[in-house]
Structure 1
Amino acid sequence: MPAPDLLLGIDLGAGSLKASLITFDGALAGEGSHAVSTSAPKPGWSEQDPWDWWRAACAAVPAALARAGGDPKRIAAISFSAGAHTQVLEDRAGQVIRPAILWNDQRSGQQTRALRERADDRILEIGYNRANPTWTLPQMLWLKEVEPEAFRRVHRLYVAKDWLRSRFTGGFETDLIDGVGTLMVDARTGDWSDELCGLIDWPLASLPPIVQPKSRVGSVTAEAARATGLAEGTPVICGTSDTAVETYGAGMMRPGIGVAKLATAATVSVLSPHAVPHKEMINYPHVIPDHWYVITATNSCASAHKWLRDTFFRRDGEDGSAIFDQMERLASAVPPGSEGLFFHPYLNGERSPHWDPLLRADFVGIGFNHGPGHFVRALYEGISYSLRDCLEVLRANGLGFATARLTGGGAKSALWRQTLADVLDVTVELPAVADASFGAALLAGVGIGAFSDEAAAEAAIRVVATHRSDPERAEHYARGFVLYREIQAALAPLNHRIHAHMAGA
């Protein structure tokens, strides 16, 4: 029997679960995906049923395996990733207590303010990050105050990828990167923090042991093998958050290379030899040992692109991918600057650098000269400006890069890639494969020794497109960025007044 020669990465995204099988030299052998639905019972809420994740895995993994030839014994190891912060709560009987609150949920704004008033500087000192509605700590304070019965029932808290992985192994553990993402870990020591958990009376006994992302945490059980088509006993590696494995899979393994992620949300990440705690930035340990990655983020990216498509371009029954292609063609005919049309992508509030859940999106400067293509190009430019907003925070703190590797679905657009290069005034590179499932598969290889160490996996990464900043367009966008910021500052108070009006204040 030939030796196993494939690695499986499973990533739980905001809208779908994806499974990727790759060879040890980074070639894609097969992939499969399955949609995952999100519910919004109230404005600003974002929830998913964890069992939908398992059902999606049971569909996506066999599809990937079939495209790779169908032999599960070729798989040498499996690893996982998912969005940080999202939690699954189980009671003593192992039953899921309530839907998982996602990272983009905004319900805990009041609890965030309370935590900041009580211990803003101390939380930053211990957790290396500031409380905001994205993080598990304020979300669980919301649970305590609004759903106290659910709070009292909690026996185990899983982070999303760990709960999904436990369906394969039966284990209960997390990694340090996802642990830091709960804002319940002392980032200085790598242990769960009595003090942070004490702020919300969270029981430490409900939290999992912390291991390394590359640690082997079990094997595929017989039950999971029957459900997914995998081979019983296949090694399972812990894994970590989606952004961690995406930046890793894109090649952010040395200084000078950053990563811009154009996914449901958008992020700008940079490698650092140490954490840089700051109220406007996010800090995580990196897959690369003794390094951190520092992030700034905008809430709405591909989600805004999809919203524009579905709201203004798509008719019932039409193929969504074809509509995206049509939108790209229309935008390509519009000159840089969209003839004075600006877009701010705050459809669900905003993170960096504003950290304001009450900001809302806008198109500003509309005239009779603007057609459908202008709105698409303005969206590309507006999200790129928002990422420039994010990058400026990093630059102000001595962090930056000359080259950005791109990840996420938005990176498929050549026009968007070039726009981002011009707005950020950097070189943009597109890896052949750089999504989270690819990075998770690489991590699986590190976990079983297929690569000598984390950096050795870089040989499996290939760049297929390069976009360099054009000096003339970069100067044009530099002037436009000033206007973009001025419009945001002018409209922010009105966004707050609109919120108060709708709330009946």
Structure 2
Amino acid sequence: MAADLLIGIDLGAGALKTSVIRIDGTLAGEASAPIATSAPYPGWSEQDPHDWWRAVCETVPRALAAAGARPQDVLGISFSAGAHTQVLEDADGAVIRPAILWNDQRSGPETADLRRQWDARILEIGANRANPTWTLPQMLWLRRHEPQAFARVRRLYVAKDWLRSRLTGTWETDTIDAVGTLMADASTGGWSPELCAMIGWPLETLPPIVAPKTVVGTVTAEAARQTGLAEGTPVVCGTSDTAAETYGAGMTGEGLGVVKLATAATVSVLSRHPRPDFTVINYPHIMPDHWYVIAATNSCASAHKWLRDTFFKRGGEDGGEVFREMDRLAAAVRPGAEGLFFHPYLNGERSPHWDPLLRADFVGIGFNHGPGHFVRALYEGIAYSLKDCLVALRAKGLDFSTARLTGGGAKSALWRQIVADVLDVKVELPAVAEASFGAALLAGVGVGAYRDEADAARRVAIVSTATPDPERAALYARGHGLYCEIQAALAPINHRIHAFVQDERALAAAHREQVTHG
């Protein structure tokens, strides 16, 4: 076999996937491994970076075997992972603490303080508003609550960069993930002394910044031994998962949007420049001289999995088959779920509310509702939340008539149709709707397998299309109005519930203290 394969490795919130593709854009082989998330306290979300590396060492040989490929057949490798998630190392190169994930909500008070003091200035420099998703408030939390860990930091890695450094021994990040820390100047592409000074963060702990397609090193002998890759294989920097997904879905020009149904759900659209605003997220794109603007909902496939594991999965049942049965049950239910509504705020919410205290709900339950209604209401509720995101983008003058779907939720034909009907746009499904595919294409750009970024993206194939039904679209337009009214009515109650839970925890802690000390 000629050396004509590319590898993309994507670290998701629940699993790491390695994809091997051919230069023509077809998938040759893939493998995935689960990643455990720890929530030691409510609102926390952490992972052990060493689990990520274990998953790389496990999935790379399996993906190569699935492709029937030899390590020397690989032209290049690249990575993607969730933005904002950081790995902190000390002077000896040891990981200081578990990585705080993008969906962690602990830094709500730090976010409030940053907004109170520098809200407009942070937006002006970083093109984004501070919220608990971003590295900046997370590291302010670290300084306040774990000062010893803060003092030990000598290197900050964004998640995919730490993984890549295990292959190459080098330390750098790309322009997109740098902006994703909210510690960089979006206009210059370099680190911002002013933003870092707001939290007392030392600039020398931040890595050099390069373009996502830059070859930053090669696979070392030790990494080759652990992964089964060939020593000397070129490694390309890579980028954030959403950038890789939108690129891998073929978003290379205006008028095409990308909807991601993954752990979180996002709506992305391409722009010639950032649209700094308190309601949307701005990143540079893989396509030169372009940005992509995002609105996002925190819980999507994670909510789907929660529903499965909490109410549907029993004993040792196969999780995939349970998902398929849930899909069949939902398909038998009429659009609108007979008045059952779901808000997917299982871990607070981002666009357009930016409120970590919002809580999920099922509203309108009656004796007529069975299991399928709850699944359909979940599909529709997440689609309504995506409609909220699209409304926020349209308010900035950004729109699209066709959306490419990515993420695990895109496998459901029913969910794809619901998204088409609720958003009232045509929905297309790429042959490979994964961030690891976009990362593999990026590896090809970096090693010269393609002329440029646009040439690589032409390999994206569309395998399915869903068009909106006018009657269902009209019904869902009314449903979205009700969805918004319910959200507005419950938001203040959600805040009071949060206060109630905090009081309950304080009482429980006091009781434990009393029992312990008699």
- TM-score when normalising by structure 2: 0.97
Q: Distance in 1 between matches of 2:199 and 2:458?
A: 45
1:208, CA displacement in angstroms? 0.2
Q: Distance in 2 between matches of 1:441 and 1:458?
A: 11
Amino acid at match of 1:280: T
Q: Distance in 2 between matches of 1:11 and 1:247?
A: 14
Amino acid at match of 1:317: G
Q: Residue 372 of structure 1 aligns with which residue?
A: 371
Q: Distance in 2 between matches of 1:434 and 1:399?
A: 23
Q: Is the 8 A contact 1:11 1:82 kept in 2?
A: yes
Q: Do structure 1's residue 202 and structure 2's residue 174 form an aligned pair?
A: no
Look up the SS of the partner of 1:199 in the other structure. Answer: helix
1:449, CA displacement in angstroms? 1.1
Q: Is the 8 A contact 2:17 2:436 kept in 1?
A: yes
Q: Is the 8 A contact 2:255 2:400 kept in 1?
A: yes
Q: Residue 513 of structure 2 aligns with which residue?
A: none
**Equivalent runs, 1:80-229 vs 2, <5 Å:** 80-229=79-228
1:162, CA displacement in angstroms? 0.1
Q: Deviations over 1:56-85 (max 9, x none)?
A: 000000100111114100000000000000
1:36, CA displacement in angstroms? 0.7
Q: Residue 405 of structure 1 aligns with which residue?
A: 404
Q: Unpaired runs of 5+ in structure 1?
A: none
Q: Distance in 2 between matches of 1:429 and 1:349?
A: 29
Q: Residue 510 of structure 2 aligns with which residue?
A: none
Amino acid at match of 1:102: L
Q: Deviations over 1:318-366 (max 9, x none)?
A: 0000001110110000000000000000000000000000000000000
Q: Unpaired runs of 5+ in structure 2?
A: 505-518
1:458, CA displacement in angstroms? 2.3
Amino acid at match of 2:301: A
**Aligned residue pair count:** 504
Q: Residue 63 of structure 1 aligns with which residue?
A: 62
Look up the SS of the partner of 1:142 in the other structure. Answer: helix
Q: Do structure 1's residue 454 and structure 2's residue 453 form an aligned pair?
A: yes
Q: Residue 281 of structure 1 aligns with which residue?
A: 280
Q: Distance in 2 between matches of 1:235 and 1:300?
A: 36
Amino acid at match of 1:26: G
Look up the SS of the partner of 2:199 in the other structure. Answer: coil
Q: Do structure 1's residue 478 and structure 2's residue 461 form an aligned pair?
A: no
Q: Residue 516 of structure 2 aligns with which residue?
A: none
Look up the SS of the partner of 1:124 in the other structure. Answer: helix
Amino acid at match of 1:300: S
Q: Deviations over 1:89-109 (max 9, x none)?
A: 000000000000000000000
Q: Is the 8 A contact 2:250 2:458 kept in 1?
A: no
Q: Distance in 1 between matches of 2:413 and 2:258?
A: 17
Q: Distance in 2 between matches of 1:501 and 1:228?
A: 49
Amino acid at match of 2:487: Q
Q: Distance in 1 between matches of 2:49 and 2:453?
A: 30
Q: Deviations over 1:258-298 (max 9, x none)?
A: 00000000000000011100000000000000000000000
Q: Distance in 2 between matches of 1:427 and 1:312?
A: 32
Look up the SS of the partner of 1:406 in the other structure. Answer: strand
Q: Distance in 1 between matches of 2:395 and 2:188?
A: 27
1:140, CA displacement in angstroms? 0.1
Q: Distance in 2 between matches of 1:116 and 1:329?
A: 46
Q: Deviations over 1:120-155 (max 9, x none)?
A: 000000000000000000000000000000000000
Q: Distance in 2 between matches of 1:168 and 1:136?
A: 24
Look up the SS of the partner of 1:105 in the other structure. Answer: coil
Q: Distance in 2 between matches of 1:459 and 1:411?
A: 21
1:504, CA displacement in angstroms? 1.2
Amino acid at match of 2:181: T
**Equivalent runs, 1:309-388 vs 2, <5 Å:** 309-388=308-387
Q: Residue 301 of structure 1 aligns with which residue?
A: 300
1:3, CA displacement in angstroms? 3.9
Amino acid at match of 2:170: G
Q: Distance in 1 between matches of 2:157 and 2:305?
A: 30
Q: Deviations over 1:343-398 (max 9, x none)?
A: 00000000000000000000000000000000000000000000000000000110
Q: Residue 444 of structure 2 aligns with which residue?
A: 445
Q: Is the 8 A contact 1:25 1:459 kept in 2?
A: no
Q: Residue 258 of structure 1 aligns with which residue?
A: 257
Q: Residue 35 of structure 2 aligns with which residue?
A: 36
Q: Is the 8 A contact 2:295 2:352 kept in 1?
A: yes
Q: Distance in 2 between matches of 1:232 and 1:32?
A: 21
Q: Deviations over 1:448-478 (max 9, x none)?
A: 1111010001221100000001111000000
Q: Distance in 2 between matches of 1:459 and 1:156?
A: 37
Q: Distance in 1 between matches of 2:32 and 2:57?
A: 10
Look up the SS of the partner of 2:13 in the other structure. Answer: coil
**Equivalent runs, 1:422-441 vs 2, <5 Å:** 422-441=421-440
Q: Distance in 2 between matches of 1:484 and 1:459?
A: 38
Q: Distance in 2 between matches of 1:282 and 1:86?
A: 16
- TM-score when normalising by structure 1: 0.99
> What is the Cα-based RMSD across aligned positions, in Å?
0.7
Q: Is the 8 A contact 1:169 1:219 kept in 2?
A: yes
Q: Is the 8 A contact 2:250 2:460 kept in 1?
A: yes
Q: Residue 45 of structure 1 aligns with which residue?
A: 44
Amino acid at match of 1:458: A
1:316, CA displacement in angstroms? 1.2
Look up the SS of the partner of 1:131 in the other structure. Answer: coil
1:219, CA displacement in angstroms? 0.1
Look up the SS of the partner of 1:213 in the other structure. Answer: coil
Q: Distance in 1 between matches of 2:457 and 2:100?
A: 34
Q: Is the 8 A contact 2:248 2:441 kept in 1?
A: yes
Amino acid at match of 2:142: L
Q: Do structure 1's residue 492 and structure 2's residue 491 form an aligned pair?
A: yes
| Greater Cα shift, 408-417 or 450-459 | 450-459
